[in-house]
Amino acid sequence: MPDNKKFWQFRNSVDNTVELLLYGDISQTSWWGDEVTPRQFADELAGLGPLDKIVVRINSGGGDVFAAQAIGNQLEQHPAEVTAKIDGLCASAATIVACHCNRVIAANDTTYMVHPVRIGAYGYYDAEELRKYIEALAAIKESIVSLYVKKTGRDRDEVTDWMDATSWWTAATAKENGFVDELVDDEATVVENRGGMLFVNSINTGLPFNKAPNFVQSSKAAPAAAGGFVNKNSHKEEENMASEIKTVDDLRGAYPELVGKIEEAAAQEARNAERQRIQDIEEMCLPGSEDMTNEAKFTKPMSAEDYAKAVVKNAKKQGDKFLAGMAKDADDGGVNGVEASAGAAGGGEKKDEFMDALKAMGAKK
């Protein structure tokens, strides 16, 4: 399996107990239509043999709902006692995994977030296709609401309102609302603003820092992060991150906001250049060259400089053709065979070559 598809890690398997680490995005790609990756997870879980306890350590801003549902259901159906341990952030699809666990424990300074279901659609769609997407969103939302109601014991309308409002909670509020069963005092959660993105315990949540609620932004670790990273292994992590960025997709995953700004700036520059190219071509258009101009602008695009050269060549070609036509007309009319005639008797008058040519042409008829 490609490394970029595996986002989980089973570790510390001792005495029929294992930890499942879910740090970062829950799948970079959707598990919808993917049979290989879910099977890989199931095979790894089964390969651990009989287990008494599974501890799911979560620090994630969410990800693919289908991946979260598949993992959550496999954990819920497992005979072992499954406990979710929130180490930093549990948001979006990560909450689905947590709610499938038998018990949820959160450190006091961690954060919980639920929000409306979203779908990423790329391309062009007609009304019927969009309607199907909306129906799919509604169905997915209902399944998540049912899971939340089962976990919290709260009213369906109340849970739906929480989702629709995009609710950010402290661990204590999440416990009050029924999503967390126990609070513990662990090591302080490290919240950082790295390039405008929210990092929790060195994990990119995929969420803009300025979109996080005030209690997250103003946490005790956030100010220290403004001037640099507070983690002791931060330099090593930055080196590892740099070594892992080998493709455009890697860069986009690590710095989505920066890549987005670069791409938008490049797109705007390209749009401006194209408008200028078309304007320059239109300003050089000569009467009779409309077809060539349209080709240069659209069907056979060329730069304004190349178009200018083409216009000069075409004008020279047309000029040569015109002069050749004039010479042929003169030959056909006999003008080139007319010799100069003597002046009228009495002399002294200026010879009119034009009239002489006309007379000569009349004499040949």
pLDDT, residue 262, reads: 74
Whether residue 320 sits in one domain with residue 175: no
CATH number reported for the structural domain that contains residue 15 in this entry: 3.90.226.10
Read off the amino acid at residue 153. G
Domain-located, residue 226: no
Pick from 152, 20, 153, 15: which is nearest to 75 by CA?
Answer: 20
pLDDT at 110: 93
205 falls within a domain: no
Q: Are residues 156 and 273 in the same domain?
A: no
The pLDDT of residue 155: 96
262 and 177 share one domain: no
In 3D, which of 65, 62, 64, 118 has the Cα closest to residue 92?
Answer: 62
Q: Are residues 26 and 164 located together in one domain of the fold?
A: yes
Please give the full DSSP string across 278-289, using - where no structure is assigned.
HHHHHHTPPTT-
**What stretches of 93-229 show up as alpha helix (H) in DSSP?**
93-100, 127-152, 156-164, 171-176, 214-217, 222-226
Is there a single domain that holds both residue 156 and residue 38? yes
* Residue 78 sits in the same domain as residue 185: yes
In a domain, 145, yes or no: yes
Tell whether 207 is covered by a domain: no
H or E segment to which residue 80 belongs: none
For the beta carbon of residue 336, count every other beta carbon within 10 angstroms.
10
Q: In the listed set 189, 221, 245, which residue is the last one of a domain according to the structure?
A: 189
Residue 348 lies in a domain: no
Claim to verify: residue 142 and residue 9 sit in the same structural domain: yes
**Tell me, what's the pLDDT at 298?**
86
pLDDT for the residue 131: 87
Query: By residue range, what is the domain housing residue 323?
Result: 255-335
- Please, what are the averages of pLDDT over each run of 10 residues along the chain (365 residues)? 68 87 78 67 92 94 89 95 95 96 95 89 81 89 96 97 95 97 79 76 70 69 36 35 51 63 77 86 82 86 85 75 69 59 48 53 48
Q: Is residue 199 part of a domain?
A: no
Whose tokens are 């801003």? That residue is: 61
> Which single residue is written with the structure tokens 């995994």?
97
Backbone angles phi, psi at 183, to 5 degrees: -110, 140
State the amino acid at position 332 in one-letter form. Answer: D
163 — alpha (psi -120 to 50), left (phi > 0) or beta?
alpha
Q: Which residues pair with 306 in a beta bridge?
A: none
Domains in the chain: how many in total? 2
Residue 128 located in a structural domain: yes
**CA 46, CA 84: separation in Å to the nearest integer?**
19
Which residue's entry shows tokens 């180490």? Answer: 87
Domain boundary among 166, 189, 212: 189
Q: Which of 146, 168, 189 is the last residue of a domain?
A: 189
Same domain, residue pair 155 and 270: no
pLDDT score for 248? 64
Assigned domain for 100 exists: yes
- CA diameter of the chain: 138
Question: Is 86 in the same domain as 168?
Answer: yes
My answer on whether 136 and 266 are in the same domain is no
Q: Report how far apart the first and last C-alpha atoms of the chain are (Å, whole number).
A: 94
pLDDT of residue 174: 97
Q: What is the rounded distance in angstroms from the CA atom of residue 307 to the CA atom of residue 329?
A: 33
- Domain shared by 96 and 21, yes or no: yes
Same domain, 49 and 142: yes
